[in-house]
A and B are shown apart, each in its own frame.
Chain A
Amino acid sequence: MKTLNQKAWFFVLPVLILVAFNALVPLMTVVNYSVQETFGDNLFFWQGLDWFQQVLRSERFHGALGRQALFTITILLIEIPLGVAIALAMPRKGFWVPVCLVLMALPLLIPWNVVGAMWNIFTLPDIGLAGYTINEVLGIEYNMTRSPLAAWITIIVMDVWHWTSLVVLLSYAGIISIPDAYYQAAKIDGASNWAVFRYIQLPKMKRVLTIAVLLRFMDSFNIYTEPFVLTGGGPGNSTTLLSIDLVKTALGQFDLGPAAAMSLIYFAVTLLVSWLFYTIMTKDDAQ
């Protein structure tokens, strides 16, 4: 007979309370707002799923979601291959290893709003180093406060500058954990550099790359601070990503009901994509 000891629950309790107060309770408030209408004075009116319908049908939401998807896909397509390529090119032993690692870690250490402010000043057409150089020296018209294309290029370059390092560091960790014997065996088998990458390095990096893609997906899909500081969602609403739109709805217009519904949809999309991706990528391991 196994004796059941219920005391174990007490060990779980602190975590439960912590998670409840920092995640579950706030989330439930949002759920509460999403199904009601309020005009202040703590007066609430039941609204059912109206807000959800309204958000899902609104063109403004479609636009923001589309821009968000475009942004995330673009930076993933640039950062993942670029990160892997840089990691492959990095030295694996010797003096330059710590130098490269520190250089790579630097962008990751800068606070997000500082990154936004840095790039804002950096790209100013009249006094920014990049802005001035492109406009006056190269003679290409570039002003991200006027041209949507320039604004898009700027936020993408900024994100690539800020976050490619994360992919590099993760890939690098994957690469250096490959035992020398694999490279030696490949040499003996007469494998080309491409074959070494395709059949040794890439499979061995699969796990860390899965994590890298997941982290980059979640972070970029939820990105707020940097584009907000850099472009404020403009010009017009051309760089208004989901989170910027959400904050505008919630705090700018004080439409708490639609904003709450939008939050939940936003959360569900992030969760669903992450879950799908992770499940597909780890499917082979389970076998």
Chain B
Amino acid sequence: MAEITLDGLRHSYLPNPKKQSDYALKQMDLKWSDGGAYALLGPSGCGKSTLLNIISGLLIPSEGRILFNDQDVTSLAPDERNIAQVFQFPVIYDTMTVYDNLAFPLRNRGIAEDRIEQRVREISTMLELDDMLSQRASGLTPDNKQKISMGRGLVRDDVNVIMFDEPLTVIDPLLKWKLRSKLKELHQKVNVTMIYVTHDQTEALTFADQVVVMQEGEVVQVGTPIELFERPAHTFVGHFIGSPGMNILPCEILDGKALFNQQALELEGPIRADLAASPDSARTEIGIRPEHVSLGKAGDSNTLGGTVRKAVDLGHQNVVEVLVGEHRINAITEGDLPAAGDEVTLHFQPEYTRVYADGWIATEEAKA
């Protein structure tokens, strides 16, 4: 078990990277504490698998170091790092029984057979594989195969970190949910650092205590699921997490105020001083989640008038798309469903209304 530190990590698949865009993984400095549950979230091609392979040792980074506790493991081979990885497609040894599969990593390390038996039985109970131990692994269902891959990591009691590379891709939707809660339960039981890579926000947000959101080889935000939801540090996070994603509206900065559609909107706090001083230096936008936009009455403060373009009843709530000027704004509302063409007034909750400059958050959090 270990605390994992990524120190100035950069990686390029090209032999002589020059430009910033040559790097699949741009500057990366992170610290993952021992026993935490982390998720790496980002769209395909954002570099999350690259980062995972660097941690597991399948890839040596172009620059930077990886530390497990205080030991530099950057150039160690995967088997010397004492890590485990569960792959997208279940990797099992077809010709072996479930028992032999679980025992394999221990046998390779020359551990005594009675100790192996004890560990395998312990882990198989934990994973509910007990009654399959003598079966050939090739005949099992995908979810049980994934459990075996996981088990091969867990049998080693000194494992530093277990990594999951989109492990639920091939699992049935119904079993996905079961296996996900099993994972969470396991994490609480064994207390090993786990890193879960996925492009599925639900998987990331339900599994992890801390989510690392990546985009184009860069970490855009690290935070708890609630932080990511309530205060996205980047428009990408706002857009990627949540359904529908955050409303992103172009705005002008004038005298320290944000103007959308020629109307000033109240924000969570003051605009960053450097941006307020030279508002033309960056592309500025207002970001607010649909959850924080509601239908209000004309005359209320912080409102905008618009026309309903369409409204969808999701059962427990409605998603209303409103046209303000030429911009579409989503609002999540409860109660009666407005009809298309209705004139409505949108109310923005000031504490969730923020300005983003070139994608990055540019308002200061209101002091409580």
Contact = CB atoms under 8 A, between A and B. Distances in A.
Interface of A: 179, 181-182, 184-185, 187-192, 195, 199-200, 203-204, 287
Contacts, number: 54
A181 B93 contact: no
Contacts of A187: 58, 77-79
Interface centre among B58, B88, B152 (most CB of A within 10 A): B58
Contacts of A200: 93
Contacts of B78: 184, 187-188
B162 to A, nearest CB: 10
Contact of A188 (B83, B89, B95): B83
A187 B59 CA distance: 12
Prevailing SS type, chain B contact patch: mixed
A185 B139 contact: no
Contacts of B109: 190
A199 B93 contact: yes
Given A187-B78, A190-B108, A179 B89 contact: yes
B77 A181 contact: no
A190 B159 CA distance: 13
A64 B272 CA distance: 96
Interface of B: 53, 56, 58, 77-79, 83-85, 87-89, 91, 93-96, 104-105, 108-109, 139, 149, 152-153
Given A191-B104, A203-B94, A185 B87 contact: yes
B108 A188 contact: no
B80 to A, nearest CB: 9
A181 B89 contact: yes
B139 A188 contact: no
B93 A188 contact: no
A100 to B, nearest CB: 24
Nearest to A287: B139
A195 B93 CA distance: 10
A188 B85 contact: yes
A181 B108 contact: no
B105 A184 contact: no
A189 B56 CA distance: 12
Contact of A190 (B58, B79, B94): B79
B149 A185 contact: yes
A188 B105 CA distance: 8
B85 A192 contact: no
B95 A189 contact: no
21 contacts: A181-B87, A181-B91, A184-B53, A184-B58, A184-B85, A184-B87, A185-B87, A187-B78, A188-B83, A188-B84, A188-B105, A189-B104, A189-B108, A189-B152, A190-B79, A190-B105, A190-B108, A191-B104, A199-B93, A199-B104, A203-B94
A190 B57 CA distance: 12
Contacts of A195: 108
Contacts of B56: 184, 188
A10 to B, nearest CB: 42
Contacts of B153: 188
A181 B53 CA distance: 11
